Structure 1
Amino acid sequence: MLGFLFNEKECKELGYMLRKELDEMLLDLGDNRLDKEVRRAIANRYRTVFRMYARIATPKDLSRYVRNHRIIPM
């Protein structure tokens, strides 16, 4: 396990970068042209980035990125 100390500005920047990455992955997961294996890899990466974002986001901000795994078309 690694630990980092961020000041407030760095924390906001990290949150911004993680949100943009989550947004991009959500778009990719909604693209039916992608192969099943590719979408599975994106979903695994999404879970990792989501957990990172969950450490710094408020519950209200985090709720925007919660996915319902039952409706993932694969």
Structure 2
Amino acid sequence: MFGLMLKDKEAAEMVYLLKKEMDEVYKDLQDRTVEDCVKRAMEEKYNLLFALYCRMVPPAERLPYHLSVINKKN
């Protein structure tokens, strides 16, 4: 296990980067031309990013980025 100490500004930047990357992966998941095996790998990446995101934000901010919630909206 690793620990990481960040200043508030660094943590905010990390959250921003995680959100942007999750948005990009989600957009790619919606592409119908992408094969299923690639989509599974992208879902794994999204879940990893989401797990990191969950460690950095309060529970109320997590819900909009939870993959099952996003899929129900669309």
Interval of TM-score (by shorter of Structure 1 and Structure 2): 0.7 to 0.9
Which AA in structure 1 matches 2:49?
V
Q: TM-score, normalised by structure 2?
A: 0.87
Give the equivalent residue in structure 2 for 1:66.
66
Q: How does 1:1-74 map to 2 (within 5 A)?
A: 1-68=1-68
- Moved runs in structure 1, 4+ residues, more than 6 A? none
Cα distance in 2 for residues equivalent to 1:61 and 1:32 = 29
Greater helix share, structure number: 2
What is the CA RMSD across the aligned residues, in angstroms? 1.5
Aligned residue pairs total 70
Q: Identity, % of aligned pairs? A: 33
Match of 1:68, SS?
helix
Q: TM-score, normalised by structure 1?
A: 0.87
Match of 2:67, SS?
coil
Q: Give unpaired runs (5+ residues) of structure 1.
A: none
Cα distance in 1 for residues equivalent to 2:41 and 2:3 = 26
Match of 2:2, SS?
coil
Cα distance in 2 for residues equivalent to 1:31 and 1:59 = 29
After superposition, the C-alpha distances for 1:11-68 in whole angstroms (9 at most, x for unaligned) are: 0000000000000011011111101111000000111100000011122221111112
Cα distance in 2 for residues equivalent to 1:62 and 1:24 = 17
Q: Give unpaired runs (5+ residues) of structure 2.
A: none
